[in-house]
Structure 1
Amino acid sequence: MSGRVGDLSPQQQEALARFRDNLQDLLPTLPNADEYFFLRWLRAQNFDLQKSEDMLRKHMEFRKQQDLDNILSWKPSEVIQLYDSGGLSGYDYEGCPVWFDIIGNLDPKGLLLSASKQELIRKRIRVCELLLRECELQSQKLGRKIETVLMVFDMEGLSLKHLWKPAVEVYQQFFAILEANYPETIKNLIVIRGNWKQELPKFVSPDQLPVEFGGTMTDPDGNPKCLTKIKYGGDVPKSYYLRNQVKTQYEHTVTVARGSFMQVENEILFPGCVLRWQFASEGADIGFGVFLKTKMSEQKQEGDMVEVLPIQRCKAHVVPEDGSLTCLKAGVCKSCRIHWSRLPPYGREMSLLPRLSRLPSFSCSRGGGGSLCKLLDPVAAGGTGFRMLGLGSSPWVWVTGQRGILESGIHSLKPQTQLLGTPYTALNRLRDR
């Protein structure tokens, strides 16, 4: 049996009923609660109830953190709208949406130098939600369920520039998100090179294919590429490169010696607030993650924190990192930490934007065995709310020297100063091992 509606074995039918019962608490918040939706998650895990439930619950956490219910109203930056490729051309013979991803003409390095990795991934997630909505619209139009998408990857023009490691890592991360959160949604994945003009019409009617891809469809002005439907990418002008744009905006930097780290905490007052981070580094990539602090102790040990956003490598030396997540709980502390796994000859320099909406700015210089750091008044951060927790009640940023010496920095934020704002205690940690 295929495990689809109308083709279930007795065991699969029983598993479906039990699966729905186990998820009664989630039913009001699910994007869809019909049999088709539940069976997608069951098929993805071969009808293993526990694995399917865990997968769906993690997806619902992901939906809340990424605010997916409102993502279709979000607009990416201009450079992504103009130079990130892809588009919906039409529908296949069974009515499934056909999405074209133009890889060969893409400028991955230019995009990553002009936009953050998270924004690029979020744009791809938005495409997934857009295609799911298109499936629903097609279902209503045709009077039968449409739940899968045909994807065409145009690799014509693929070269070594597309194998640039940061770009490959972005695609790897996106496909991991796709597999974990959009199971059983891809009907066919067609990679174009070679005899593609003979293969595509087997899946898609010519009137739903641009002339560029062997069909008969054109734009109203006769353009064979159907530019009104599909973005073809292209080289990104250097004027969009963020590194060039924001370098002059950095007023303060941190140079962290081997074995050093810094911590920042931000208290969350109510659920639903957005925690945002922006940073850049010089010389090499860094690791960044967000954690929930479970114990109100002075020592911030990993055992006292729950992972919310796993530590991941950020190419902040290539393009400034800019990310966010929606905080789901109030009255608890979140921690985000930034650390280094490799050390350049003279330590690593990190710059924090003075215009941050959630994080304050620092000014640090390298000392004899570590670093000297100054916390700048975060009112410039837009009054969004920051309380620094360091030594005792002092809102100092601090670093540990390579011999384990704790050096407290100079601060310009008055003790006990607290701005109204985000509900998490966000801990930013910069570390060199």
Structure 2
Amino acid sequence: MPSNLRNNFLSSRAPRETLKALFFGLIAVFRDNCAKMALDLNESEFEALELFKDTLGEYIKDELDSYQRHDANLLRWLRARDLNVDKAEKMLKASMIWRKNNDVDKILSWRKPQFFSNGFNFMAPGVDKDGCILCIVPFGKWDLRGAVEAGHRADVVRFANQILEQGFQFMKKESNDKKILNQFIIIFDWTGFSLNQILSRETVDTMMECLRLFEANYPETLKEAYVVNAPAIFEIVYNLLKPFVSARTLAKLKVYSTNPEQWRGALLKNIDPFELPSQYGGSNLTCKNYNLTQGLERPPRAHDLSKGSFQSATISAGDKLVIDQFVDLPGTHLTCNFTTRDYDIGFQILYNDELLFACQRADSHRHMQKGLVVCNKIGTYKFCFDNSFSKFRSKNISFAIEQDVPEKLDGSAGKIDQLG
């Protein structure tokens, strides 16, 4: 550097302030770029997010918890309102008021009426490849009309809200500084759906109310929705409910008919087989219906058994292979792994001839099937490999079953069988 410039540089305080400003400016740019990359934002979304935070000001700190005020969750409200900051602010604040007025923070302790104990089941078997929650609803078997006509319309809406909030709280629990989970995948199985359900105006109104609740208070939490085994009348239901669902949500909906070869492949593109129940093309043999009383904890899962423990057998067409396992200590874990060559097979687990679990056709020729039973009772547990549906083909099977007694029983073993 020339001496005159060097002297001017050293004698002037301005360059020092300039360098300081430049340094912090570079840090800000680096931080902003990191934020954009972490959230996969385009320039418009990033600018809207910064303006949204400025507009909310102290409200963020005073009214939202650390999960709710994370950029990823603030962004949900913006995207739901097409990056319109004013509309997003109104939507967010209206939802916070709704939460307070309806005691949503306490809804997980709400006990649904006995009417819902049977027939309103769903499963939460696992997560997709990004860690987002997977929920399976056998919607075709839900008797919404029966519930509404029995005087439980408000309870139906509250039950739907409880499921949504349980999922929201689970995502909150599983999130950390490095990764925020705020979306879920849902599979609606329409097997058994009756036209009778939509012939009731009040039932349709109840469905609409549930959709409005979801759109207004859990925006952009849906990652993907799959409708499988859709009957011909699905189009009627779709057209009835379409006006109450945003275009962004509708774009995430994928509809499949009753051909499992179509939708099973689609599910497995984004979901690992072990996260998906066997009856939906995965390898989780013993996925039980979710019980809200179990809270946010996941049930135990089956592990891989050693290759040396496997046995081989051939099951003739129309025949079954039954393996008995006698359990003499409550709390024992029974783990089963099996695979078949070329073709699928049926599978059941029974306790003293009481059916605990069944899969009509497991894709064991595609994925190693894995199941776990936590046995709460002493007695004989039967593992049945069922080829009775096949009239001509025998099946070659390789299987292993293992008994394991945990060192410390957690006290839950004496309550119910856990299938996971």
Larger Rg: 2
Instruction: Give TM-score, length-normalised by structure 1.
Output: 0.48
Which of the pair has the greater relative contact order for Cα pairs under 8 Å at 6+ separation? 1
Task: From the two aligned structures, give the one with the greater helix fraction.
Answer: 2
TM-score where L is the length of structure 2: 0.49
